[in-house]
């Protein structure tokens, strides 16, 4: 079975599609370990983002994953774990 990789670029694209981007935040900077809150994405924006990831990648994310993944790195790792690759985001 082919393993798919969920990357930071994928996450950024989905964040922007689903929730837009804060004008004062540079998503192209080093945001791996920035708090989602600092990036301008509150819980509802993450819920929307999680829903879009689930649809696109055909996976199911536990509600806990969304509420506990405070940073892009944590969410990317969680998604990749679901995708079966188990690989690190970076």
Partner 1 sequence: MNAVVVTGLGVTAPNGLGVEDYWEATLAGKSGIGRITRFDPSQYPSRLAGEIPGFAAEEHLPSRLLPQTDRMTRLALVAADWALADAGIQPQDLPGFDMGVVTASSSGGFEFGQGELQALWSKGSQYVSAYQSFAWFYAVNSGQISIRHGMKGPSSVIVSDQAGGLDAVAQARRQIRKGTPVVVSGAVDASICPWGWVAQLAAKRLTTRDEPSRAYLPFDGAADGYVPGEGGALLVMESEESARSRDARIYGEVAGYAATFDPAPGGERPPALRRAIELALEDAGLAADQVDVVFADASADPELDRIEAEAITGVFGPEAVPVTAPKTMTGRLYSGAAPLDLATAFLAIRDGVIPPTVHVTPSPDHAIDLVVDRPREAELRTALILARGHGGFNSAAIVRAFA
- Interface residues with partner 1 (CB under 8 A) are 16-23, 40, 44-45, 47-48, 51, 54-55
Toward partner 1, which CB reaches closer, 2 or 23? 23
Rounded to a whole number, what is the distance in angstroms from the first to the last CA of the chain? 22
Least spacing, CB of residue 14 vs partner 1, in Å: 11
Min. distance of Cβ 51 from partner 1 in angstroms?
6
Q: Which is nearer to partner 1, 48 or 87 (CB)?
A: 48
Nearer to partner 1, 32 or 57 (CB): 57
Q: Collect all residues with Cβ–Cβ distance below 8 Å to 9 and sequence separation of at least 6.
A: none
Q: How far is Cα 71 from Cα 81, in angstroms, rounded to an integer?
A: 16
- The CB-of-30 to partner 1 minimum distance in angstroms stands at 21
Cβ-based nearer residue to partner 1, 50 or 89: 50
């Amino acid at each position: 079975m082919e393993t798919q990789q969920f990357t930071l670029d994928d996450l950024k694209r989905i964040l922007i599609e689903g929730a837009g981007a804060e004008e004062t935040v540079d998503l192209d900077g080093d945001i791996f370990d920035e708090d989602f809150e600092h990036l301008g994405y509150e819980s509802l924006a993450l819920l929307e983002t999680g829903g879009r990831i689930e649809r696109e990648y055909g996976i199911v994310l536990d509600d806990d994953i969304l509420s506990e993944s405070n940073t892009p790195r944590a969410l990317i790792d969680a998604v990749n774990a679901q995708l079966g690759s188990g690989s690190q985001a970076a």
